[in-house]
Structure 1
Amino acid sequence: LLGPLGLTFSLIGFGWSKTFLSLLIFRCAQGVFNGNIGVVKTVMAEISDSSNLVQIMAFSPVSWNSGSTLGPIIGGLLAEPAKQWPDTFGKIRILREYPYLLPCATVALLSFVFFLIGLVGLKESSPVILARNRRAKRISPEPSSDTALISGAAPTYGAIAPSVEVSDVDEDIPSLRELLVPRLVIPLINYGFFCFSQTAYQVLLPLMYSTSIPNGGLGLSPYQIGVTRGIWGVTNSCFQIFVVPRVFRRFGARKTYIFAFSNFIVCIGAYPLLSFFAQRANKVDGIVWALVVIQLASNLAIGMAYAASQIYIVHSSPRPAALSSTNAVAQMISTITRALAPFIASALFAVSLEWNLAGGYMVYIVLLGVVAAGMGSSFLLAEDPKKAQ
């Protein structure tokens, strides 16, 4: 609950900032409170079981894609409202003085609403805390017909023994050595490859689509890119909800992950083909659009790799009490790789075009090499996530 509440205040502070230092402070605060991503994954795993874990994890990309789609729309529509609507918002002094306050306040309001929903409807799911609460009730239970008249440690002659025995849960925080075992390290390595490859691919998408055809891109307008990604977003949401669970039930987590991750070969490998055919026709013709459709269709399957990796990570946790620490390590790996991937991919894209490395395609060769390494590590995954050693 501290996550959305903290985001509420940090977003308002960001929109109210006038100096770079304050912007930096509130942006760092947003990063801190975004740490509840790992908490959400832990809660999702704790409230699920083997019968519905796949369906629950399949909803994660839908949530992420919804936010990734709505966020830019809110920012684009509401930023600098005094300039966009001078007859209405232009008359409000605070919006003239703080041009980015309105979009930040709008998102802050949404975050606060989510905080209230969680405050009312979210129940504690941590096995450690639940066991602690049960022990507290066992020590000082409420009087009832089933309550022992004297404690279980005392002689029970003439008394009613407690009717329910509560098993204790180990509350010790797992050590790093306990977490860094092969059954968990292998899924974490694969998760790192997935996060890096996905982020690199997504960073190159707008760069490639918007760059002019002579410079190796497609020269699409912002409107064309927005419509294309919007259609893909709706299709992807339906795919993740209705198709992914059936695929997991039919083929299992390992085969699904290997197939889904292999689609990075198509997604990234399509970039040089798009550039080649666009330059040959000097326009975006039918062949180019067909390749775009193939690329985005392959990207639909990639979402299954995320769900599979989360299933492996959940089942590879040393013990239930260590699930939060396990997800924290996974989130750390995700943050590091997703921070490095945009810089590496965009820098390689610019250098490849400027210096004409491998005909301008060096960036794709390097990224396909990373994908090949990730494919190799995917075969190390256990056939059954529950039986990983």
Structure 2
Amino acid sequence: MPDTRQNDERTPLQQNVILTSPNPTPLPWAQLSALFLLIFADSLMSASVTPYINELISELPITGGDERKVGYYSGIIISLCFVGETTTVLLWSRLSDFIGRKPVLLGGTLGSIIATVLFGLSRTFWALAASRFLAGALNGNAGVLPSMLVEVTDESNIAQGMSLLILAWSVSFGIGSFVGGHLSRPHDHWPGAFRNTFWVKYPYFLPCAVTSAFAIVSLLIVSIFLKETLHKRNNTSKLRFYSGDSNAGYLRDGESNIEDENNAIVSPGVVQQRSSLRALLTRPVLLSISINALFAFLEISNNSLVPLVYTTPIRYGGLGLDPAQMGTFLGVFGILNGAFQFAILPRIMKLMGLRGSLLASMSCLVPAFLLFPINGTYARHAGSADNILWFLVLFHMLIMVGINMAYSCIFLYTSSAAPKGMLGATNGLAQTVASVQRFVGPTIASSIFAFSLEKEILGGYGAFYALTLCTFTVICFASQLPREAWKSQEDLE
């Protein structure tokens, strides 16, 4: 029998997430496949920009020919996507609590398609900046997708479902990076096929066009097969769930029910909670979201520094990789990351527990940041990329795979802390706060890297040592989380 104790807005209602179960519920493959396509399309478009963004910035008349200043501007361009996301993701997530998840997800993907096409046609810094801002502002999928994942799974199979979606993101990130690196400047690589002056004027449009075309096809497929989850209800049981999901509250005997504007069966308490964001001001929610934000800052700093540092000339402390090499590097990382998260992540969580897995993942940031000066110093002495340097790069890539495990852990903490009826709002708030860090992270990380180079702070590598110290602070803060997902008011004591 379910626990029928009265809960208020301070009580997290998602029961403890069971990472493994002897008899897990079969996964809803049709729904997950549709979500798979959406994530794949979004990540494909976003990742295709990464390999060539620094080369594109260096070609614009804004750096004065000083390659050491590329980091300032590339950091701004990368960050603006998250600035746009910050301004709207909570609104999109809250909207999905009322009109449904599906229309918001479809609209978000369409917004990304428009922004990606505009980015490929941009030839000024301000046009690039505007298109990247729109890419974040028009797409609220980052806050809505986690909510829908919770609603199509239950406690026994959510870890499996999550690992599949992470696999989709990782594989598409890898493919998108490869596409962006190898399809940029097609006029130079295949002058016979791309002789038109259009490709000379817009040398980076081809990867944007290819990824957007895939997203359009995905959008049409998902619009047909994806089913709405917010409208689900169960009229056959005396104890009914709001939205039919595992974090909805049980209706108590004698409590009257009403239908909301989506014809979903809800209790009066749920309607009241859905009308105010104050219900989210609980310790489990705030602690989970804070740790998510701090980790997002460090993780996006590392991710933005990888293409910046590795494409920086060796004489300035980088590795001197070209966009094709950078695309291959990120592509292999995406494939390895997907395989790891899908095949190994659930086993690690079972072995180490949720908090142990999170702390282990965060700890991987320490060697990741320290490998930047190690690789750069070796490259300066070697003069070019050799087998030893490529081994160090591969090692860095494997460490980055371990870092990404933290997002799965934080997602479980955040979703389990959500008050009833406010899953979308909780994930939206988490994504909003994380997005703030994601636009601050690339700007700060790339700027202090450029500043370190200009001022020769600790050999030009002062930025990485500062980020390493920040990592130790965040790890100590994350140790305050419970061993497993939030369960009840008892976790507050």
| TM-score relative to the length of structure 1 | 0.79
1:34 aligns with 2:134: no
2:212 matched residue in structure 1: 108
CA deviation string 1:234-274 (max 9, x = no partner): 22221111101111122221110011111101111222223
Change (3 A) 1:284 1:30: closer
CA contact (8 A) 1:53 1:311 kept: no
Gaps of 5+ in 1: 135-165
Relative to structure 1, the CA distance from residue 246 to residue 94 in structure 2 (aligned partners, 3 Å threshold; closer, same or farther) is same
Q: Shift in Å at residue 171 of structure 1?
A: 3.0
The amino acid of 2:140's aligned partner reads: G
Q: Is the 8 A contact 2:170 2:335 kept in 1?
A: no
The question of whether the paired residues in 2 share the 8 Å contact of 1:187 and 1:313 is answered with yes
What do residues 283-330 of structure 1 show as CA deviations (whole Å, max 9, x unaligned)? 5556544443433222221121110011111101011x1000001111
Aligned mates of 2:356, 2:134 — CA distance in 1 = 39
Query: CA contact under 8 A between 1:12 and 1:101: conserved in structure 2?
Result: yes
Sequence identity, in percent?
32
Structure 1 residues 29-52: Cα deviation after superposition (integer angstroms, max 9, x where no partner): 432332122111110111112222
Range with bigger deviation, 187-196 or 219-228: 219-228
Q: 1:229 to 1:6 in 2, by over 3 A?
A: closer
* Aligned match of 1:121: 225
Shift of residue 361, structure 1, vs aligned partner = 2.5
In structure 2, what is the equivalent of residue 364 of structure 1?
464
Superposition map of 1:204-219 within 5 A: 204-219=305-320
In 2, Cα distance between equivalents of 1:214 and 1:11: 33
Partner of 1:350: 450
Per-residue displacement from partner, 1:139-171 (whole Å, max 9, x unpaired)? Answer: xxxxxxxxxxxxxxxxxxxxxxxxxxx764723
Q: What is the match of residue 52 of structure 1?
A: 157
Shift of 1:57: 2.2
Aligned to 1:306: 407
Residue ranges of structure 2 left out of the alignment (5+ in a row): 1-105, 237-264
271-280 vs 330-339, which moves further:
271-280
Using the TM superposition, name which of 277-286 and 330-339 deviates more: 277-286
1:255 to 348, 352, 356: 356
Displacement of 1:201 after TM fit? 0.9
Aligned partners of 2:284 and 2:486 also within 8 Å = no
Which range moves more in the overlay, 272-281 or 232-241?
272-281
User: 8 Å contact 1:54–1:248 — kept in the other structure?
Assistant: no
Give the corresponding residue for 1:203. Answer: 304
Aligned residue type for 2:216: F
Moved more, 194-203 or 209-218: 209-218
The 3-state SS of whatever aligns with 1:130 is coil
Query: Which of 260, 271, 291 is the aligned partner of 1:190?
Result: 291
- Quote the offset at 1:188 in angstroms: 0.9
- The 1-side partners of 2:359 and 2:185 are apart by 45
Which position in structure 1 is the counterpart of 2:174? 69
The 5-angstrom pairing of residues 147-162 of structure 1 reads none
- Name the CA shift for 1:199/1:21 in 2 (closer, same or farther; >3 Å): closer
Distance 1:11 1:263, change over 3 A: closer
Comparing 50-59 and 299-308, the one that deviates more: 50-59
Q: Are the equivalent residues in 1 in contact too, given 2:174–2:332 (CA < 8 A)? A: no
Match of 2:424 in 1: 324
Partner of 1:125: helix, strand, or coil?
Answer: coil
Give the CA deviation at 1:333. Answer: 1.6
Equivalent residue letter for 1:295:
H
Deviates more, 1:212-221 or 1:8-17: 8-17
Q: 1:359 Cα shift?
A: 2.9
The separation in 2 between residues aligned to 1:174 and 1:122, in whole angstroms, is 27
| TM-score, reference length from structure 2 | 0.64
SS in 2 for 1:386: coil
Q: Which amino acid aligns with 2:348?
A: V
What code does the residue aligned with 1:111 have?
A
Q: Is the CA contact 1:10–1:27 (under 8 Å) kept in the aligned structure 2?
A: yes
* Cα distance in 1 for residues equivalent to 2:328 and 2:446: 23
The structure whose RCO (Cα within 8 Å, separation 6+) is larger is 2
Give CA deviations for 1:74-110 in whole Å, capped at 9, x if unaligned: 445555656765554546x877786666544433322
- Paired residues of 1:42 and 1:323 also in contact (CA < 8 A): yes
CA contact (8 A) 1:213 1:279 kept: yes
Question: Take 2:425 and 2:432, find their aligned partners in 1: how far apart are those partners?
Answer: 10
The 1:106–1:226 alpha-carbon spacing in structure 2 relative to 1, beyond 3 Å, is closer
Query: Structure 1 residue 375: deviation in Å?
Result: 0.5
Equivalent-residue separation in structure 2 for 1:57 and 1:301 (angstroms): 16
Alpha-carbon RMSD across the aligned residues, in angstroms, is 3.2
Write the letter of the residue equivalent to 1:179. L
> Is the Cα contact below 8 Å between 2:177 and 2:327 reproduced in 1?
no
Residues 364, 20 of structure 1: alpha-carbon distance in 2 compared, 3 angstrom cutoff: closer
- For 1:96 and 1:285, the matched residues in 2 are separated by 33
- Quickly say closer, same or farther: Cα 1:219–1:110, change in 2 above 3 A: closer
Cα distance in 2 for residues equivalent to 1:90 and 1:220: 26
Bigger CA radius of gyration: 1
| d(CA) in 1 for partners of 2:316, 2:478 | 35
